[in-house]
Chains A and B, each alone.
Chain A
Amino acid sequence: MAGAVNLLVQSHPINSALSLIVVMGSLAAEYLLLGAEFLAAIQVIVYAGAIMVLFLITIMLLNAGKEERTKGSRVAILIGVPGVTIGAVLVAWTLVGRTSTTHLASIGALWGAPKDIARLLFHNFLLPFEVTSVLILIAIMGAVVLASRPEAIAQPQRSRPVPQETCELVVTGKDH
Chain B
Amino acid sequence: MVPLSYYLVLSGILFACGVLGFLIKRNIITIFMSIELMLNGVNLSFVAFAAQWHALSGQVFVFFVMVVAAAEAAVGLAIIIAVYRTRETLNVDQVNLLKL
Residues of B within 8 A of A51 (CB): 36, 69-70, 73
Q: Majority SS of interface residues in chain B?
A: helix
- A residues 127-150 with Cβ under 8 Å of B? 128, 132, 135-136, 138-140, 142-147, 150
Name the distance in Å between A98's Cβ and chain B's nearest Cβ.
8
Docked Cα-Cα span, A39 to B48, in Å, equals 12
Number of interface residues of B (CB under 8 A): 75
- B residues with a Cβ closer than 8 A to A are 1-5, 7-10, 12-21, 23-27, 29-30, 32-34, 36-37, 40, 43-44, 47-48, 50-52, 54, 56-57, 59-60, 62-64, 66-75, 77-88, 90-91, 93-94, 97, 100
A-B contact pairs, 24 of them (CB 8 A): A1-B10, A16-B33, A36-B50, A36-B59, A39-B59, A39-B63, A58-B77, A84-B16, A84-B19, A88-B15, A101-B4, A105-B51, A111-B54, A112-B59, A116-B56, A120-B57, A124-B60, A138-B71, A140-B74, A142-B75, A143-B75, A143-B77, A146-B81, A170-B86
